[in-house]
Homo-oligomer: A and B are copies of this chain.
């Protein structure tokens, strides 16, 4: 059971997380809790570090940040003991969660589950610090953004857990953002691949690394609310019945900008150099489209997060000076996407999406696709409307037909 920062933000929430673990224990299960730092602790520590060193050594930053989760595990253990349960808190070092030594974004190498198993066998609820690891030399590392979810999945995989519950402040994964699409429906079951696409298209909750890890080790993740006991969304391996649902969800990424470079020399290596330079400046590039006109010069266009546009402008100015090209910047874009593994075997999905957008007078400025996703770049002002149109076009608000009776245990 994993509890994120908001689910352990204060004494009351810690007690309620503890209560849930005890209920699960009383239902006859062994329970491991993975917890994050309380509320805004990590931000507070980062701020403190920033006051002292504008560019703190990453090893020391990890040594600092890992304290956040250590505070939570001990408090959760205290809460459990106060409620009469037997509990023990363990840091990453104490369970031997070994990572490489790439500080602030370490990768897990191995987990020695003996310590956890011993404690579970002794009847204890085990509380593990998420987000952190140790190198073989005993240095503290952290796993980067979404690291607690990676800890959760890795520990669940190592323990061969029956289920891996991710408690959040939402009820599960929705067919679209319910704040924008009132008819959005909670998805009961979604495949790892669909979840990966949705996550990278801006549907929060779980980061790609955790989902990739879960997919690799085939760990089912149950995303559910820490505020009620309703079932949430099960993220699982793709199975037969899923394919009946052509599109599982729709997503909107607002705040996009497009950079178009015209008159780029069409020589091998030029594009590589452009994107290498952007990567060095830490500009994350989204979709890329390259076309060649009759003059044998290329047009390269790519989208970036609006927040990265200022950085992109600087880098692009240098590139244009070197390559003799010309840049156009557009800062008013959004991207609407439809995602579903069913696209692999069904045709007509793109057509249905394009015509629905056309009928709503929404102009498509760019199209990008993957095997299980179609994305359209549109004007930001039409973003929310476009999301509703796509959601309706695929009847995502309706419960999937026959999904219930064909659902398998796996």
- A interface residue numbers (CB < 8 A to B): 11, 14-15, 45, 48-49, 51-54, 56-57, 59-61, 63-64, 66-67, 70-71, 73-75, 77-79, 81-82, 88-89, 91, 93-94, 138-140
Contact = CB atoms under 8 A, between A and B. Distances in A.
28 contacts: A11-B51, A11-B52, A15-B52, A45-B71, A48-B71, A49-B75, A52-B78, A52-B79, A53-B78, A53-B79, A53-B82, A54-B82, A56-B78, A56-B81, A57-B77, A57-B78, A60-B89, A61-B74, A61-B78, A63-B70, A63-B73, A64-B70, A64-B78, A67-B67, A67-B70, A70-B70, A91-B140, A93-B138
A15 B53 CA distance: 10
Contacts of A54: 82
Copies of this chain, whole number: 2
A13 to B, nearest CB: 11
A185 B363 CA distance: 86
Contact of A138 (B53, B74, B94): B94
A52 B75 contact: yes
Nearest to A49: B78
Nearest to A12: B51
Contacts of A88: 59
A48 B61 contact: no
A218 to B, nearest CB: 31
A18 to B, nearest CB: 9
A167 to B, nearest CB: 18
A47 to B, nearest CB: 10
Given A11-B51, A94-B139, A138-B94, A60 B45 contact: no
A74 B64 contact: yes
A400 to B, nearest CB: 43
Contacts of A52: 11, 14-15, 75, 78-79, 82
B64 A71 contact: yes
A48 B14 CA distance: 11
Given A52-B15, A93-B138, A81 B67 contact: no
A45 B79 CA distance: 14
A106 to B, nearest CB: 16
A312 B67 CA distance: 40
A75 B70 contact: no
Contacts of A139: 94
Contacts of A138: 93-94
B81 A71 contact: no
Contacts of A59: 88
A78 B77 CA distance: 31
Given A67-B67, A93-B93, A60 B81 contact: yes
A82 B57 CA distance: 9
Contacts of A49: 74-75, 78
Interface centre among A67, A79, A91 (most CB of B within 10 A): A67
User: What are the 9 tightest A-B residue pairs by CB atom distance, in nearest-first order?
Assistant: A64-B74, A53-B78, A67-B67, A63-B74, A53-B82, A11-B51, A56-B78, A60-B74, A60-B77
Contacts of A14: 52
A306 to B, nearest CB: 32
A267 to B, nearest CB: 43
Given A11-B48, A56-B81, A66-B70, 5 more contacts: A15-B52, A60-B74, A60-B78, A61-B78, A70-B70
